[in-house]
Structure 1
């Protein structure tokens, strides 16, 4: 068993699930919690999963980052709307020469983190996971769970499969978490947007679950059109997303259990939406490369209106 120490920033549907799996496999994991701190400190974490339910009765739980040990790998599993906290959270706990593992959606996240911490490696994991937090310290895993890992370098040049990526992949694999290694992080991020942009956006605007979007001929067609527009954005940066990948995402979603996306859950709870990371940043990147993504721009404008209205009501 490795002696790498992991920190989880954001013990929710994603960070809580993967962190719990890592601890269950015997790794040294430390969890930062806010509202769930007292409950998890007393009762631990409960994971309901299609792969088997389990409870971690004792976890290393912390309410304040200053009380956490320095760790070899710091997993950022916060919503990107909370990234303004990272200058406070990251420097105290990531070891010099350690790894920041970013498990967040969107584009351009790594550039922001590189400005906060130096002398660390930044690796991103694109998570294809259906999981919800349903109560304090209680996470329900519905489907999938694959993580695609890629390493960041300035300019998003392809660096291939590095030793650091392989070490983390081995840790996650030992915990029963499916892993793919990507030689090109920027391509992997655009490919994740092929799913995130249509389903997250339309689920909020149309008040629909994934199965409802796929069951209607008009929304299904719109989903596909948005996917091809994401591919056009990727192509503006020299990254090719084949038609077969788009069909694969459509097929996956057809087989998926009915799912309320994370953005829809946030919207229903009147929490800020990850509009900028998932929609705004790709739009700006594409425009900088001379491409206008008109349908995605339309979705972005609607989400900005709904998000602002939702926050005012709250």
Structure 2
């Protein structure tokens, strides 16, 4: 039995943490607000296309200091909350604690490594269409859930294999150790950033935007810009990466929306800076033009600033 902390109990953390708890591991959720209250009072309810289940009672707390050292920390907060989580998780870090980020962006592992030490961090990503339906209730609506992990320096390691075995032992979870975790992270970033960007500016589900020729072209343009930035950064994406990303987008349920899109449509702070904003930022750093991502980022920035309580002043 492993001792595991799930930092963030939304769709990703709630589903995978729930499955690990269901498998008998000592799982503690770091959560807050009404969701925390519901978890502590009623346990965790997961409605899933892979089979509904409930975990009760649930270990949940807002304070990492109440948890103590754990074997693994799975970081499942929004990308813009990673640095804050890294600063707060120190009480949960023992000498051999392994920290795995499952964020949508491409910078989470670097943020964690800078704050808690690179020796604690491996690369990770997940695939799942899930969200918090209500306090204490997660809905998994699409995609067979998977987690991919790997050492940041790409070397094979026993600790990664041990984590894979733990994940594989949970129902409704598939785990894979990849040779180059950076390629895997950017491959996911391709489709999730394109899906987030087009969904956020159109407010339409992917079934609509992939079917209309004009919006489909925008999706392909977003993918092309991300691919060019990744290659300029030295990420060895395969030549068919765009085709594969588009095929995955075409395979999604018609009503699928990205979490960034849902946050923006609800007027909440979003991962705009970590997704389309990151493409623009890294494009500047590596001298790659990213006009489509730049327009998407600029078009959504006023609402993002408002959601964060930041008011833009006049430019001179």
TM-score by length of 1: 0.91
In structure 1, the partner of 2:84 is 85
C-alpha distance in 2 between matches for 1:284 and 1:77: 23
CA contact (8 A) 1:209 1:259 kept: yes
CA contact (8 A) 1:73 1:99 kept: yes
In structure 1, the partner of 2:64 is 65
Matched, 1:191 2:187: yes
Aligned pairs (5 A) from 1:11-50: 11-35=9-33, 36-50=35-49
C-alpha distance in 2 between matches for 1:119 and 1:146: 24
Unaligned runs of 5+ in 2: 312-316
Which deviations, in whole Å up to 9, do the C-alpha atoms of 1:245-271 show, x marking residues without a partner? 322322222232221210121112322
Q: CA deviation at 1:243?
A: 4.7
The two structures, once aligned, show a CA RMSD in angstroms of: 2.0
Q: Secondary structure at the match of 1:107?
A: coil
CA contact (8 A) 1:107 1:282 kept: no
CA contact (8 A) 1:151 1:185 kept: yes
TM-score by length of 2: 0.90
Number of residues of Structure 1 aligned to a counterpart in Structure 2 = 307
Match of 1:169 among 158, 164, 168: 164
Aligned in 2, Cα 1:89/1:311: closer, same or farther, shift over 3 Å?
Answer: closer
Q: CA deviation at 1:179?
A: 1.9
C-alpha distance in 1 between matches for 2:285 and 2:310: 35
Aligned in 2, Cα 1:310/1:93: closer, same or farther, shift over 3 Å?
Answer: closer
In structure 2, the partner of 1:103 is 102
In structure 1, the partner of 2:150 is 150
In structure 2, the partner of 1:155 is none
Moved more, 164-173 or 232-241: 232-241
CA contact (8 A) 1:76 1:102 kept: yes
Aligned in 2, Cα 1:219/1:241: closer, same or farther, shift over 3 Å?
Answer: same
C-alpha distance in 2 between matches for 1:244 and 1:120: 33
CA contact (8 A) 1:96 1:120 kept: no
Aligned in 2, Cα 1:207/1:232: closer, same or farther, shift over 3 Å?
Answer: same
Moved more, 79-88 or 93-102: 79-88
Aligned in 2, Cα 1:209/1:179: closer, same or farther, shift over 3 Å?
Answer: same
Q: Secondary structure at the match of 1:190?
A: helix
Aligned in 2, Cα 1:310/1:114: closer, same or farther, shift over 3 Å?
Answer: closer
C-alpha distance in 2 between matches for 1:303 and 1:167: 42
Q: CA deviation at 1:119?
A: 6.9
Which deviations, in whole Å up to 9, do the C-alpha atoms of 1:228-247 show, x marking residues without a partner? 22111111123343353322
C-alpha distance in 2 between matches for 1:99 and 1:43: 29
Matched, 1:286 2:283: yes
